[in-house]
């Protein structure tokens, strides 16, 4: 029984999720888009392949030479000084006549090996005198010959479904004659921003911000990040700080989009309307993640006709929003797009050329850059509102909870180049 003046104990706060736990939950929830577009291979850069692609030809399609020189019969050149008559000249794209015993064919890189020849001697090992060539080498059978199908066998799978297509994959597809590719349709992502303090650049009266106002930098950062990953972005702009406006925007955004992303409004203040709005239009989990910068992240779904649209609410502080996107949103987007391989960035082990004497209980992601000596320098101000740190830096140091960094320690470094495509 509680005495009249006693207060009931408050429930213990829920433990914060680790970065790993939060990311695993997101990735396990992802539902890849199912619709398939057939696009020109020229227009498929950055798209995700929907079906395995097989080669209809062998590459090379015939035995050919990998060197400028002379096609010969190895048996004619056993003494290291054979002199042979040059009977023909075979440029790339031309088919030579069968090679007769005791003759050689002048041949150029990529040209088909004539019937009867079984080796190529590079031109630097030959001496030409009129129509006679002396071979200053004893070639082995098969020397400097690329065999039919050496790179790709006809019928072999060259690109697997779930591959995110880069320049290399497009070149490979073209090399076997694939003029079109089946890819998953582009992911459609809605964004909007809450906060009456937000002002767009160019819209401050007389170029002067009102007291308490800030420019909406997150709109520019998040749109660019989404475009880098290949999303179609539907921007609903700045939404008035009311529950009714937030709910109405959520409903409209869910209608034609796969995912809704907001920035700001994910705390529990009276003027933060994201949580009640999403809860009324769908479901929401408010996460506290042991990450710095970051910590609050909202994940849920908003109802629409025929299903739901995913929802992610990012923190409003510019660096927190940026880092949270890179760590959690980007991998989630890649899974939604249908990427089947690794979606987390690669990291490098590099030397810290600085000290961090105070450990944090959260997993820190520190803005740093590579110096001329191959070590890492730390940006002096790691505040969550200091966007200059993201421009100055080359990437993020993944510093585990409770770890102090001493100068010379090896740390885990994730380059921005791994995180922004």
pLDDT of residue 158: 98
Task: Say yes or no to pLDDT of 6 above 70.
Answer: no
Among the listed ranges 110-119, 285-294, 309-318, which one has the minimum average pLDDT value?
A: 285-294
- Average pLDDT estimate for 172-189: 97
Superfamily for 188-336? MoaB/Mog-like domain (3.40.980.10)
- Write the DSSP string, 226-286: HHHTTPEEEEEEEEPSSHHHHHHHHHHHHHH-SEEEEES--S-STT--HHHHHHHHEEEEE
**194 has a pLDDT exceeding 70:** yes
pLDDT, tens digit, 9 for 90 and up, residues 330-377 = 999 999 999 999 999 999 999 999 999 999 999 999 999 999 999 999
Task: Assess whether pLDDT exceeds 70 at residue 270.
Answer: no
Mean pLDDT of 155-183: 97
- Residue-level pLDDT at 195: 80
- As a whole number, mean pLDDT of residues 259-282 equals 81
Is domain 36-58+161-184 annotated with CATH 3.90.105.10?
Answer: yes
* Class of residue 69 by CB neighbours under 10 A (exposed 0-12, middle 13-18, buried 19+): buried
| Mean pLDDT within 30-54 | 97
Task: State pTM to two decimals.
Answer: 0.88
Residue 65 is predicted with a pLDDT of: 96
List the chain domain ranges. 36-58+161-184, 64-146, 188-336, 348-418
Third-level CATH fold of 348-418: Beta-clip (2.40.340)
In the numeric block, the tokens 């990450």 are attached to 291
pLDDT number for residue 208: 87
- In this predicted structure, the answer to whether residue 301 has a pLDDT above a threshold of 90 is yes
CATH of domain 64-146: 2.170.190.11
Instruction: Say what the pLDDT of residue 355 is.
Output: 97
pLDDT of residue 388: 96
Q: What's the rounded mean pLDDT across residues 221-242? A: 95
What pLDDT does residue 183 have? Answer: 98
Mean pLDDT value across residues 140-153: 96
């Amino acid at each position: 029984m509680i005495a009249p003046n006693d207060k009931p104990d408050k429930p213990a706060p829920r433990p914060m999720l680790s970065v790993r736990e939060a990311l695993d939950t997101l990735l396990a929830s992802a539902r890849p888009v199912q619709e398939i577009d057939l696009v020109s291979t020229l227009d498929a850069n950055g798209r995700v392949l929907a079906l395995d692609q097989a080669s209809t030809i062998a590459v090379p399609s015939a035995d050919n030479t990998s060197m400028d020189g002379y096609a010969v019969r190895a048996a004619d050149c056993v003494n290291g000084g054979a002199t042979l008559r040059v009977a023909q000249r075979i440029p790339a794209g031309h088919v030579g006549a069968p090679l007769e015993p005791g003759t050689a064919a002048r041949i150029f890189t990529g040209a088909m090996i004539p019937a009867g020849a079984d080796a190529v001697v590079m031109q630097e090992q030959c001496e030409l005198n009129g129509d006679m060539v002396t071979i200053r080498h004893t070639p082995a059978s098969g020397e400097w010959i690329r065999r039919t199908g050496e790179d790709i066998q006809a019928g072999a799978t060259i690109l697997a479904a779930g591959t995110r297509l880069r320049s290399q994959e497009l070149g490979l597809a073209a090399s076997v004659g694939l003029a079109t590719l089946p890819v998953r349709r582009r992911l459609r992502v809605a964004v909007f921003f809450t906060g009456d303090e937000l002002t767009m650049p160019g819209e401050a009266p007389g170029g002067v911000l009102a007291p308490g106002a800030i420019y909406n930098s997150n709109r520019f950062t998040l749109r660019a990040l989404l475009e880098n990953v290949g999303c179609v972005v539907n921007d609903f702009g700045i939404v008035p700080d009311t529950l009714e406006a937030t709910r109405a925007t959520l409903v409209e955004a869910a209608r034609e989009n796969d995912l809704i992303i907001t920035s700001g409004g994910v705390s529990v203040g009276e003027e933060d309307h994201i949580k009640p709005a999403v809860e009324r239009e769908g479901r929401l989990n408010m996460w506290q993640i042991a990450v710095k910068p970051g910590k609050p992240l909202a994940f849920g779904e908003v109802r629409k006709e025929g299903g739901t649209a995913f929802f992610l609410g990012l923190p409003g502080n510019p660096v927190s929003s940026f880092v949270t996107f890179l760590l959690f949103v980007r991998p989630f987007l890649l899974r939604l797009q249908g990427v089947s391989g690794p979606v987390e960035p690669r990291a490098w082990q590099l030397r810290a050329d600085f000290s961090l004497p105070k450990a944090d209980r959260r997993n820190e992601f520190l803005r740093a850059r590579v110096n001329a000596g191959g070590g890492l320098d730390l940006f002096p101000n790691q505040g969550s509102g200091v966007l200059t740190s993201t421009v100055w830096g080359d990437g993020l140091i993944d510093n585990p909870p409770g770890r102090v960094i001493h100068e010379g320690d090896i740390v885990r470094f994730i380059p921005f180049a791994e995180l922004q495509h």
